[in-house]
Structure formats: C-alpha cells, structure tokens
Amino acid sequence: MAEAFPDIPKIAYEGPKSKNPLSFKHFNADEVVAGKKMRDHLRFGVAYWHTMRNTLSDPFGGGTAVRPWDDGTNSIENAQNRARICFEFMEKLGVDYYCFHDRDVAPECATLAESNKALDAVADVLEAEQQRTGKKLLWGTACLFAHARYCQGAATSPNAGVFAYAAAQVKKALEVTHRLGGEGYTFWGGREGYATLWNTNLKREMDHLAKFLHMAVAHKKAIGFKGPFYIEPKPREPSTHQYDSDAAACLNFLRQYDLMEHFKLNLETNHATLAGHSMRHEMEVAAAAGALGSIDANTGDELIGWDTDQFPTNIYLTTQIMLSLLNAGGFTTGGLNFDAKVRRESFEPVDLFHAHIGGMDAFARGLKIATAIIEDGRLDGFIKQRYSTFDSGIGAQIEKGEVGFAELEAYALKNGEPMLGSGRQEFLENLINEFI
Ligand code: XLS
Ligand code: NI
Ligand code: NI
C-alpha cells in the first residue's frame, strides 16, 4: 500500500524555539509533568468521523477535502484502506488513541445483517492495526443520527421499530468496541430530543431513553465489557431541544432513572458554550458528582452560534480545562478526543497535521501552566482562605450538620453583621496572567 502522507515525517518535539510547523513546540510525549508523562495526562484521541470522513461540506456547498487515498465509494475495501491510513496518521502524529462511530469506520449497507458484517470486516483491520502499532481505542459509539430512519429520534423515536433498530445497532457497536479493547463507550443523543412539542410526549420519550440505557447496561454486563458508559451533553443541533442538554441535566436524568453508577460524562467544549456555559463550568459540575469521564476537545467560534468543532488553540481555554482536570485527579479511562474538523478552506491532508499539532501543543501548554498554578499554590490558597469560616466554629458545625435554624438564629442575634472578604476577581485574573 502506498503511503498516504509521503512528504510528512514523524512529528517530533523540537521545543518552543523551533520554526518547523510540522513539529511540537510544547507536547513532548514522554516528558514528565506533575508526576506523569504528558501522553498519560493528555491521552489524545483522533476522531475518526472528522479526520477520516469529513468531506468539509456545509449547508451551502459540497465537500472540499482532498483525500487522495479515498476512492469515494462505500465499499468495504475503501473502508478498510481508510482504517489503515488512520493508523498511519496516528503513528506520524504520535497520538495514542482514536474514537469512532460504527458508520464512520464501516458503511451502512442495505440490511442490518450486511452492515454488521461490514463492521466486522473493518474491525478485523482495526484490530490488526492496533496490534501492529500499539494504538488504542478510547471509545466507540453508534451513529444514531445520520440515517433517515432516525430523523425523529432513535431511543426516543415515536416508532418502536426504530427503537429496536437503534438497540440492535448499539448492541453491535458495543460488541465491536469490546472486541477492540475500547476503554469506554459513548452515547451522544443528537436526535434524542424534539423539533416541536406539538407532536411530542416528552415524558414518554425520556422514559424510553432510560429503558434503552438500562438495556445497554444489561448487555454490557452480559458481554463482560468493563469500561464506563459516557453520556455526551449538547443542548441542541440537530434537534431543537436535546434531552441531554448539559451536564446538570444529564446528571439529573441519570439519577432520576437510577443510572448514575453506570455513566460518566463526555464533555465537549463547543457543546458547553452552546448550552450557555463555559467548559470549565461543565467540568466542575461533572467532577462534583464524580462523573467527569472524558473530553471532546474542540472549540466554537464566538461569532457563530453553532457547533463549529474547531481545533482548540486558545491557551486560556486549555489552561482552565487542565486545571479542572488535574484538580479532579486526571483521566482514568477518558482522554482528550479531538472532536474537531479542519476548516472548509483547509482542504489539504497536511492541514490535518497542522490542526492536531496545534491542539496538542495548546493542551501541553495548558497542562504545564495549570501545573505551575497548582505548584505555586496562591490560587488554591486564596480559595481555601475564602471559605475558612467553615473550617471551625459555627461554619464547621454547619458542615457537620450539628446545627439548625434555631441555633443559627441564636448565633446571628449574638454576633451581628458578618465580616465579608472581597472576592478579588481582578486580583485573581492578574494572578493567572502571570502564568500564561
Ligand atoms: C456532535 C457530537 C458527536 C459525538 C459522538 O456534535 O459531538 O460527534 O461526539 O457521537
Ligand atoms: Ni463530541
Ligand atoms: Ni459536537
């Protein structure tokens, strides 16, 4: 097989002074930062759907991507060839993980049985390539949103036959993920929501979604898959409203339907901003519930109100993400999956390298900066101090549940107006800038 990227060398770390665009300035895979190799902190993943399958079309025009290795057909051979090229890409880039949907790696065929066979045939290649290269599957998922049958939802479709089809697809995708040693499995419900409430029984749809996920848990146990399930929140797009709208809504859903112990969250930056939150907010909400699982690393555009899935290059953003991640103890099964695509104008294969290198370097800097902030201790010290009235006396009694309203009334009557300290936001923003 001819190489897909003959002119591109293996991307090496050359340090911040290098002028070579095809090198890392900050990501040095085996360098130890805060007690761990950078590759083990960051656990980068390539998103198969964007990197291997996105033609860069938009609602106003067809694809622009030039991918000389792809013959443009839906044949199994083309799919298998693409799979090999994905591994060539990961090897040159030095990314350790990848993520896929069933229908990105293999074609959807005329029948479910044929689609399953096609998926097996591509999984043969994925398995062989994983063994050859040591690359690993971060998570797998089923595409329950592209085919016309899912236009009114999958697990929340008003049609039971569609629910069954979706279940069959997840069953297979889960089995293939398990076969490939996937470290997790993701549910993103792009069509699990509604376009209008005039035709929707919201309660019934949410009940169905919960049933579906319980069945998935049962099947996971049946086949012995040990990795976590992730739910990926997103408020809208493609549906007008999606049930998994943000981290808090997902956690509430999981608790309501008794699914908490089986799920963590896969948080995506652009979804957080679509929900009107910062990524850090979503991470802190998930971490507080012990449900911070994995990250879809990308970014949106402030001037555009949809999921633009751009590669993250903003050091403030990566610093915040890495700070929350380090404070939460880092990844276990999760990683930083680049759920991002090159711009439509960036259609050459080499652009895929520039994009990933930029994202990896941005996160490497975020990791180093966050580590420096933590080691410095002033930020954390300030926050500790800010809550210190809860460390002893009446505050400690409140936290321990030793007092009620009557005792607190007596305390307030006796002590009068409390002495409140400044929040010092500007001071802290300046402090963070010392590190960036
Ligand atoms: C779409 C989602 C999707 C999931 C996987 O917006 O981000 O790509 O990550 O189904
Ligand atoms: Ni995503
Ligand atoms: Ni997305």
Distance from C-alpha of 301 to C-alpha of 349, rounded to nearest angstrom = 23
Distance 336 CA to ligand 1 centre (A): 13
Q: Are strands 32-33 and 36-37 parallel, antiparallel or unpaired?
A: antiparallel
Identity at 72, one-letter amino acid code: G
From the CA of 50, the nearest ligand is 1
For residue 139, list its beta bridge partners.
Answer: 99
Residues noted as catalytic: 101, 104
From the CA of 238, the nearest ligand is 1
Q: What is the pLDDT of residue 130?
A: 99
Residue ranges matching CATH 3.20.20.150 in the chain? 12-376
How many Å is the Cα radius of gyration of the chain? 24
Q: Is the CB of 268 under 6 A from ligand 1?
A: yes
Angle at 188 between CA 185 and CA 190, to 5 degrees: 160
Residue nearest to atom 2 of ligand 1 (CA): 188
From the CA of 49, the nearest ligand is 1
Residue nearest to atom 10 of ligand 1 (CA): 188
Entry pTM: 0.97
Per-residue pLDDT averaged across 324-330, rounded?
A: 98
Residues having C-beta closer than 5 Å to ion ligand 3: 268, 307
Distance from C-alpha of 244 to C-alpha of 259, rounded to nearest angstrom = 14
Pocket test for ligand 1, best of 250, 296, 311, 338 (most atoms within 8 A of CB): 296
Pocket test for ligand 1, best of 53, 104, 141, 188 (most atoms within 8 A of CB): 188
Ligand 1 nearest-atom number relative to CA 266: 9
- Per-residue pLDDT tens over the stretch 332-378: 999 999 999 999 999 999 999 999 999 999 999 999 999 999 999 99
Per-residue pLDDT averaged across 304-317, rounded?
A: 95
Residue nearest to atom 7 of ligand 1 (CA): 339
* CA proximity to 92, closest of 20, 18, 22: 22
- 241: left (phi > 0), else alpha (psi -120 to 50), else beta? beta
Say which residues have a Cβ less than 8 Å from residue 302's Cβ, sequence separation at least 6: none
Distance from C-alpha of 94 to C-alpha of 342, rounded to nearest angstrom = 19
Distance 347 CA to ligand 3 centre (A): 20
Q: What integer best gives the mean pLDDT of the chain? A: 98
Residue nearest to atom 3 of ligand 1 (CA): 188
Per-residue pLDDT averaged across 122-130, rounded?
A: 98
Ligand 1 nearest-atom number relative to CA 307: 6
Q: What is the pLDDT of residue 305?
A: 83
* CA proximity to 119, closest of 155, 80, 166, 154: 80
Q: Is the CB of 234 under 6 A from ligand 1?
A: yes
Per-residue pLDDT averaged across 239-261, rounded?
A: 98
- Report residue 1's pLDDT band, with 50, 70 and 90 as the boundaries: low
Distance from C-alpha of 293 to C-alpha of 328, rounded to nearest angstrom = 10
Contact, 373 vs 435, CB < 8 A?
Answer: yes
Per-residue pLDDT averaged across 258-276, rounded?
A: 98
Q: Is the CB of 296 under 6 A from ligand 1?
A: yes
pLDDT above 70 covers a percentage of the chain that reads 100
Residue found by looking up tokens 């665009």 in the block: 21
3-state helix, strand, coil in the chain (%, to 5): 50, 10, 40
- Per-residue pLDDT tens over the stretch 83-103: 999 999 999 999 999 999 999
Q: Is the CB of 141 under 6 A from ligand 1?
A: yes
* CA proximity to 262, closest of 293, 241, 240, 234: 293
Residue nearest to atom 8 of ligand 1 (CA): 339
* CA proximity to 170, closest of 98, 101, 244: 101
Residue found by looking up tokens 């970014």 in the block: 299
**Three-state secondary-structure class, residue 194:** strand
Q: Is the CB of 232 under 6 A from ligand 1?
A: yes
Identity at 167, one-letter amino acid code: A
For residue 187, list its beta bridge partners.
Answer: 231
Which is higher by pLDDT, 131 or 304? 131
Q: Render 15-55 in DSSP notation, one character per residue.
A: -TT---TTEESS--TT-EETTEEHHHHH-EEEEHHHHTT--
Per-residue pLDDT averaged across 310-332, rounded?
A: 98
Q: What is the CATH number of domain 12-376?
A: 3.20.20.150
Q: Which helix (H) or strand (E) holds 327?
A: helix 315-327
- Per-residue pLDDT tens over the stretch 195-220: 999 999 999 999 999 999 999 999 99
Contact, 172 vs 102, CB < 8 A?
Answer: yes
Distance from C-alpha of 353 to C-alpha of 332, rounded to nearest angstrom = 27
Q: What is the pLDDT of residue 2?
A: 72
* CA proximity to 263, closest of 292, 224, 243, 287: 292
Distance 248 CA to ligand 3 centre (A): 18
Residue nearest to atom 4 of ligand 1 (CA): 188
Distance from C-alpha of 27 to C-alpha of 23, rounded to nearest angstrom = 9
